[in-house]
Structure 1
Amino acid sequence: MSTDPFDLDSADELRRSVGVLVRAVRDRTAHESDGQIETLGFLMRDGAQSIAALARLRRIRHQSASAVVAELERAGLVARASDPDDARGVLITLTTAGSDVVTESRRLRAGVVLEAARESLSIDERALLARVPALLDALSDAMADR
């Protein structure tokens, strides 16, 4: 009889570990607010969005998303554009400066992870770690399909 080595306790430990890693990276690289970076990231990944769509993606109130967009607009990181599908609608677009901020933030965060991995893990452990993103993506896809 074969038992699955990945059980409820393992799943909980993985969930906890991922959360701790995300917070550790965020703590080491905080410069813009997380809400601003998250908003810019959605725009870079998914393209222009309405404020309502950004609020849904971030799971925050429309007013909160509007305030973040206003801050980003003042900083020149996003711009407003007419929605071609809705004459009254406005889409928020990423500017070149906004794209640069996202790229730099991702590079900085990845660098923190790389440095920690090189300092604390063996080459075999790093080889195993290099396979983890595909596994986490598969888990995310499975949860999104439900």
Structure 2
Amino acid sequence: MALRPFTLDDANALRRAIGDSTRAVRRSETEPEGQVEVLGFLVRDGAQSIAGLARLRRVRHQTMRVTVADLEAQGLVERTPDPADARGVLISLTDAGRVTIEELRTRRSARVLAAAERVLTPEERAVLADAADVIVKLTAALETDGS
């Protein structure tokens, strides 16, 4: 059987499908997405300054200060002195913040699994199981070449 080529139209359909799927999963959550993103950055990248978090989220410094203050009030992040800058502080996850982001990720994943089991055939679910590795590889290429 001949392989079908991957075209620009296919790339557009894939991009849209991933975006739509991601937004559908996020819409089911009650936590503010900006706060969830900050917790995710801290899990992946470790402690960050408020300015660094603002750059990662592409928001103003003042907006990030409010987000961090909200997370701090919930006990999900804490401020610690920056060893590289005596006047600076770093924002890091608390144990409660780690638990919160892991629970959120588990809920989101369980929702995807339940939907897949409800509407996809075993063959289609097998395709998804293989697709995750392929999408990770594609994402790595997109991040390294800046395209």
- For normalisation by structure 1, the TM-score amounts to 0.94
Q: Note the C-alpha offset of 1:85.
A: 1.1
Summarize the alignment of residues 108-123 of structure 1 with structure 2, pairs less than 5 Å apart: 108-123=107-122
Q: What's the C-alpha RMSD, in Å, of the aligned pairs? A: 1.3
After the TM superposition, which parts of structure 1 deviate over 6 Å for at least 4 consecutive aligned residues?
Answer: none
Matching residue's letter, 2:17:
S
> 1:39: which partner in 2?
38
Give the Cα–Cα distance (whole angstroms) in 2 for the partners of residues 118 and 132 of structure 1: 16
Give the Cα–Cα distance (whole angstroms) in 2 for the partners of residues 70 and 138 of structure 1: 36
> Is it true that 1:17 corresponds to 2:13 in the alignment?
no
Q: Note the C-alpha offset of 1:140.
A: 1.3
> 1:55: which partner in 2?
54
> 1:96: which partner in 2?
95
Q: Note the C-alpha offset of 1:4.
A: 6.0
Which range moves more in the overlay, 120-129 or 107-116? 120-129
Where 1:92 maps in the other structure, the secondary structure is strand
Q: Note the C-alpha offset of 1:38.
A: 0.6
Give the Cα–Cα distance (whole angstroms) in 2 for the partners of residues 109 and 3 of structure 1: 33
Summarize the alignment of residues 60-75 of structure 1 with structure 2, pairs less than 5 Å apart: 60-75=59-74
Q: Note the C-alpha offset of 1:27.
A: 1.4
Count of aligned pairs: 144
Where 1:48 maps in the other structure, the secondary structure is coil
Matching residue's letter, 1:87:
A
Q: Deviation per CA, 1:31-77: give whole Å up to 9, x if none.
A: 21000011001101111110111111111111111110010001111
Where 2:72 maps in the other structure, the secondary structure is helix
Asked which structure has the greater RCO (Cα within 8 Å, sep 6+), the reply is 1
Q: Note the C-alpha offset of 1:126.
A: 0.7
Where 2:6 maps in the other structure, the secondary structure is coil
Give the Cα–Cα distance (whole angstroms) in 1 for the partners of residues 135 and 62 of structure 2: 32
Please, which runs of 5 or more residues in structure 1 have no aligned partner?
A: none
Q: Note the C-alpha offset of 1:124.
A: 1.3
Q: Deviation per CA, 1:79-134: give whole Å up to 9, x if none.
A: 00001111111000100111111011000000000000000111111111011121
Give the Cα–Cα distance (whole angstroms) in 2 for the partners of residues 97 and 3 of structure 1: 48
Matching residue's letter, 2:104:
S
Give the Cα–Cα distance (whole angstroms) in 1 for the partners of residues 96 and 9 of structure 2: 44
State, as a whole percentage, how many aligned pairs show the same letter. 51
Where 2:63 maps in the other structure, the secondary structure is helix
